[in-house]
Amino acid sequence: MRGLFYATVVLASAGVTASPVTYTIDPDHTHPAFEADHLDGLSVWRGIFRTTHGRITLDRAAQSGSVQIEVEVASVDFGNEQLNETAAHASAPPIFEAQRYPTARYEGKLTQFVRGVPTRVTGTLEMHGVSRPLQLKIDSFKCLQHPLRKREVCGADASGTLNRADFGIKVGQGYGFRMGVRLHIQVEAIRAG
């Protein structure tokens, strides 16, 4: 009994919670970015999605957590308004088809904790009406008491790859475009409540 009491005191003094804590995605500091091939290596196109929503739960004591994020695909931004419009709304050839598929959703579990920090996300991406497994590597993860918000904020940088043809987005394939897409995802989330 004394050992259990001691362990509880140690966890409490270390700031480790005994239940999941929910964090709300900060849309001003969360922008999934991507890199896609143009003409079989001629150049690399880069873009971001400007509008995201969602939440993250984290249970430090249990070394577990979850991620639920929605991305508004019409918010795609290549830095070129004409290309943004084509990518978001074109139906011939179809790319994101935002009117038909307005959101992309990712749900996953935080895994492979190292010294209390998750290093992977195992999940599923639903995009363009198709769901596929998508694993993300968490390259950095940190929580702190935000000096301006006066609340705990957690941030992460994650990366991964997908094949866009697996989601029915095959534009350029006939011209030799590579279908692989590299993801770079920055996220910040504010503790709820």
Alpha-carbon distance of 75 to 54, in angstroms, equals: 16
Choose among 182, 185, 146, 178: nearest CA to 39.
Answer: 178
Q: What is the mean pLDDT of residues 86-96?
A: 92
pLDDT number for residue 92: 85
Contacts of 137 (CB under 8 A, 6+ apart): 119, 120, 158, 159, 160
Q: Higher pLDDT residue, 10 or 82?
A: 82
For the stretch 147-165, pLDDT in tens is 998 999 999 999 999 999 9
For range 92-111, the mean pLDDT: 96
Instruction: Give pTM, 2 decimals.
Output: 0.87
Contact 153, 191 (CB under 8 A): yes
Chain segment 37-81, per-residue pLDDT in tens: 999 999 999 999 999 999 999 999 999 999 999 999 999 999 999
The one-letter amino acid at 48: I
Share of the chain above pLDDT 90, in %: 87
Q: What residues does each domain of the chain span?
A: 17-191
What is the per-residue pLDDT for 74? 98
CATH 3.40.630.30 fits 17-191, yes or no: no
What ranges make up the beta strands (E) of the chain? 21-25, 31-38, 43-49, 52-59, 64-72, 76-77, 103-111, 120-127, 130-145, 152-163, 180-191
Span 3-11, average pLDDT = 38
